[in-house]
Amino acid sequence: MKFFFYLLFCLFPPLVFGGQGADQSEEVAIDFLYINANAGEAAGGHTALRLGDAVFHYQFFPDATFLLVREPWDSFRFLYNDLHNRSIAIASLPLDLSVATHIRNHFTELLVSQQHFFDVFEKLQKENHVIQNLLVGDSDISVSCLGFFSTIIDMVDQQKNLRYHIETELGPEFLQRELARANKELQLAVHGVNRGERPGQSFHEILDLREALRIFVQGQDLDEQALLPPMEKEEKLSADEKVSLEKFANHLTHSIVELLQSTRPDRGETLLLQTARYLAVQHSLVAGQLLSLDPFSEDVRVVQLTDAEIEGGQLRTLQNDLLSQSVTRRSLFFQEEQHPEIAYSLMETSRARAWELSRVTDTQRRVRLLTRVMLPSRPGIVSLKLIQEDRCELQATAEVLVQELEELQKKSEELYGYNLFFRNCATELIRSLNTTFPDKESGQAVLGGWLEMDNGLVFIPFVFYEQSIAAFSLKDQQFLPARRLRNLESLYEQDSDILVWLRESNTLSSSLYEPRSKDTPFLFFTDDALLLRPIQGVLNVGYAALHGIGGIITLPFDGGKRFTQAARGVFYSLPELAFGNIRKGSYSTVDSGREPSL
Amino acid sequence: MNSKKYYMYLGFVCSLYLLQTGCSISYSLEKSSDSVSASLDSFTSISTSSSGEEEAKVSATATLYEEDVAAVTVLYVSSDKNNDAYRRQVTGIAQNHGISDWEQERSTFVGMGKGLRRAGVAEASIPSLPYFRSIADAPNYSQVLRGYRM
């Protein structure tokens, strides 16, 4: 039966994958991955390179950028292979450890360069925002992390303790002296802006530092909305946990003292965050409950849950999963000795996710989503009344900035734009691999082959994979069937083939699949039925068309949503008429019991 | 002949594909208007890691961070060696990995040392680079050398 799946996995007859298991030898290899197609995402298939425990691949982002992404292999496999229900073919290229490391380092450098480019872009946008606001008479400037602090000026005990530590280490006049210096620097920066100078990055940095020093001197507490309160199922702090938390508070105090002496230009924002975290820890110790800063930023993604999600079991299972993750990370944070800040951030993020989902009720369905670890950054506003700008100079500055932004946007399109033929997941992977080496000859000597991104149809992911196998003499091919195919294989082993096929070949009686709107309406799974595919394709087209008729009737009520889904259903069935397959169905959160890492 | 048929076949199917999405779309940055089930899906990859993965998460994050710092150090050496720009870049990388004060994180300096070696800087020349000159007398400098010698 396994062979049957391997045969059917191939969208195209020339592709044949072997069924060998993973190469368990100690030889270092880089792995070429081909992930077959599915509806909605990467309908043309996808490619990636596995370098050690990380997968590097190019993804299309909603802002039309096409970027290199690094993900842990386990997360990548879970997402594509389990949730998106797509099979993954892997072919290995054994290499010397030094070469494999060199390739991974090169990809990391590309990642870092990419991040630097967009950081510069973002800072220029921020600078432009300030100038544009000044042009309309708005001198309010946003300061990251300042929003965690109360506007009520009242020296609280926790701040007194912190100030005592600072003054013990740096002298009683240190904070006042530094605040006076920061104010002077800010004044100079403001005068510069008034004279038409560009604020640049340093303007924000001076302001951040001034605000951090002001908070120390005035001794403000956290704003009452700054902390996420304890969750119902969260346990109180144990005696050991309190000791660990006090140790972390000492770490933060040390960090604050060091930052105050540091020459880092951007230390102001970090000082504000470390101080807010220090206060969060102190409040936790007083309350005997773990409290943490609210890390949700203003532009965080928001989703709205439906009745089905709230009333069904999905939400409850997710709430439990996230709470469990939060408990695990809390425990790991209290044990961590080497990297306390990383462990704290992981705990802080998972706690925020669990808290956010725990608030869902019939009336509160809006959920903010943290997809990765985020440092808390709630901004506060500082109004710089001193700015009395020369409008002509300011206008000239604005024009320069707009021009720079346009140039950067153009460069972004050149460097990080998407093109189906010339800049897609396959071509960019080849380009990135090739640029690891100074020239073709040296690369060929090390890799044992060479592939060019303009080599015929190599931009098509499965052709890329096939050509890679040929060009680099890739060996040890491995095949990870999609989740449904894996489960189907188990059913075939337990029951009569014909009964299983009859039941599982369609979406109406399948025990392995629940129809989802994302998958579009379809009747037959065609990824495991090569010979019947065109016939099933016709039936799928008909089934989607019937939904379309229903969609016309419901058009006034659902704004054409059902009709659009039906049209997409027809669209994704078209390749089936020519023995092709894109749609395979996908899985949602709850029914995707995670399997051990492969 | 077979090759011709093969390319004709490919051409047909590709023409269907061209009308559809090309490459993988970022899962984490899906538009918020996506289907509701996608909204719960968004939680999936962050909620289902096993306890073993969780335990390894801190050290795995530190390792990736160290790699990134090494990479940015290579770029620093090959660029105009702007001290402030380098430190700002390290800040950006640290923030991505959940580190607020990178000067208190040992991996930072180990990563810097690794990057210096990779960039071909001789050990004796490290203090001649602007940033490293500024920390040559600080305790963290020993971590730079440790990373360099790894």
Distance from B143 to chain A by nearest Cα, in Å? 14
Q: How far apart are CA A571 and CA A566, in angstroms?
A: 9
Tokens representing residue A147 in the block: 């929003």
User: What average pLDDT does this structure show over A257-274?
Assistant: 96
pLDDT of residue A43: 67
Q: Please write down the long-range contacts of A406-415, taking CB distance under 8 Å and 24 or more positions apart.
A: A408/A120, A408/A121, A408/A124, A411/A117, A412/A65, A412/A117, A412/A118, A412/A121, A415/A117
Averaging pLDDT over each range in A29-43, A208-222, A384-398, B34-48, which range is the top one?
Answer: A208-222
Interface probe for A, chosen from B25, B27, B54, B58 (most Cβ of A below 10 Å), is: B58
Asked if residue A402 lies in contact with residue A410, where contact means CB atoms within 8 angstroms, the answer is: no
Q: Which residue has the higher pLDDT, B36 or A369?
A: A369
Confidence of residue A517 (pLDDT cuts 50, 70, 90): confident
B42 with A357: Cβ contact below 8 A: no
Residue environment code for A71-101, b if the CB has 16+ CB neighbours within 10 A, otherwise e: bbbbbbbbbbbbbbbbbbbbbbbbbeeebbe
Query: Is the Cβ pair A328, B65 closer than 8 Å?
Result: no
Cα distances from A594 to residues A356, A587, B55, in angstroms, run 23, 12, 17
Q: Is B129 helix (H, G, I), strand (E, B) or coil?
A: coil
Q: What pLDDT is stored for residue B2 in this prediction? A: 55
Q: How far apart are CA B62 and CA A344, in angstroms?
A: 13
CB of B48 within 8 Å of a chain A CB? The answer is yes
Compute the average pLDDT of residues B26-30.
Answer: 43
Residues 6+ apart with CB under 8 A from A177: none
In the prediction, which pLDDT does A308 show?
73
Q: What confidence tens digit (pLDDT) does each residue in A426-485 have?
A: 999 999 999 999 999 999 999 999 999 888 888 889 899 999 999 998 877 899 999 999
Interval A526-563: pLDDT, tens: 999 889 999 999 999 999 999 999 999 998 888 888 89
Residue B33 has pLDDT above 50, yes or no: no
Q: Is A69 in contact with B26 (Cβ distance < 8 A)?
A: yes
Q: What pLDDT digit, counting tens, does each position of A196-237 carry?
A: 888 888 999 999 999 999 999 999 999 999 999 999 889 999
Average confidence score pLDDT of chain A: 88
Indicate the SS3 state at residue B35.
Answer: coil
Contact residues, chain A, for B91 at CB < 8 Å:
264, 266, 270
Give the other-Cβ count within 10 Å of A168's Cβ.
10
In Å, how far is B119's CA from the nearest CA of chain A? 11
pLDDT tier for residue A4 given thresholds of 50, 70 and 90: very low
Task: State whether B59 and A597 contact (CB < 8 Å).
Answer: no
pLDDT of residue A598: 32
Task: Please report the beta strands in B5-69, taking only residues with DSSP state E, as ranges in sequence order.
Answer: none
* Chain B contact probe: residue of A341, A419, A519 with most B CBs at under 10 A: A341
Q: At what angle do helices A174-194 and A200-218 cross, to 10 degrees?
A: 150
Q: Is the pLDDT of residue A75 over 50?
A: yes
Q: Do A72 and B60 touch (CB under 8 A)?
A: yes
Q: What is the rounded average pLDDT of the residues A108-135?
A: 92
Which range of A27-31, A424-428, A584-588 scores highest in mean pLDDT? It is A424-428
Residue B78 has pLDDT above 60, yes or no: yes
Q: What percentage of chain B's residues is helix, strand, coil (to nearest 5)?
A: 70, 0, 30
Asked if B49 reaches chain A (Cβ–Cβ under 8 Å), the answer is yes
Instruction: DSSP for A345-366, please give it.
Output: HHHHHHHHHHHHHHT--SS--E
Predicted model pTM: 0.87
Contact B99 A328 (CB under 8 A): no
Burial of residue A403, with CB atoms counted within 10 A of its CB: 0-12 exposed, 13-18 middle, 19 or more buried: exposed
pLDDT band at A27 (very low <50, low <70, confident <90, very high): low
Q: What ipTM did this prediction achieve?
A: 0.88
Within 114-133 of B, beta carbons closer than 8 Å to A belong to 118
Place of tokens 């984490």: B28
Q: Tell the burial category of A544 from Cβ atoms under 10 Å away from its Cβ (0-12, 13-18, 19+).
A: buried
State the average pLDDT for chain B: 79
Helix (H), strand (E) at residue A557 = helix A555-558
Instruction: Say how far apart CA A214 and CA A153 lie, in whole Å.
Output: 10
Among B7, B14, B39, B48, pick the best mutation site for testing chain A contact (most A Cβ within 10 A): B48
What number is the average pLDDT over the span A507-534? Answer: 91
- Rounded distance, CA A597 to CA A73, Å? 9
Distance of CA B43 to the CA centre of its chain: 23
Question: Does residue A153 carry a pLDDT above 50?
Answer: yes
Whether residues A346 and B98 touch (CB distance < 8 A) is answered with yes
Burial class of residue A445 (count of CB atoms within 10 Å of its CB; 0-12, 13-18, 19+): exposed
Which segment of A139-148, A372-381, A456-465 scores lowest on mean pLDDT? A456-465
- Per the model's pLDDT, the better-predicted residue between A145 and A153 turns out to be A145
